[in-house]
Amino acid sequence: MAKLFFGIVTGAVGFGYMIYGQRQKKLVPVVSGLLLCAYSYFVESWWSLGIVAAALLAAPFVIDF
């Protein structure tokens, strides 16, 4: 049940990143948003979910082109 909630939250944030990236015409937020929407289907452990989410959430601020 908690994994479902975590997936919904990261999917919503990912959707926001995709919209932001499309409006700003930046590729990194769009890709990060797509990955945030989809990665929770493929990752099983809580540690991996948290680490991947943190990396994808930080990517648009760290990588800027």
Tell me the domain boundaries of the chain: 2-62
pLDDT score of 46: 83
> Whole-prediction pTM value?
0.86
Confidence band, pLDDT 50/70/90 cuts, at residue 2: confident
Summarize pLDDT for 38-50 with one digit per residue, the tens: 998 898 888 888 8
Indicate whether 1 pLDDT > 80: no
Q: Say how far apart CA 33 and CA 17 lie, in whole Å.
A: 5
Average pLDDT, the chain: 91
Per DSSP, 45 falls in state S
**Within 13 Å, how many C-alpha atoms sit on residue 14's CB side?**
21
64's tokens: 């800027």
50's tokens: 């948290």
Q: For residue 54, what are the CA distances in angstroms to 10, 11, 40, 47? A: 10, 13, 13, 11
The mean pLDDT of 11-31, rounded to a whole number, is 95
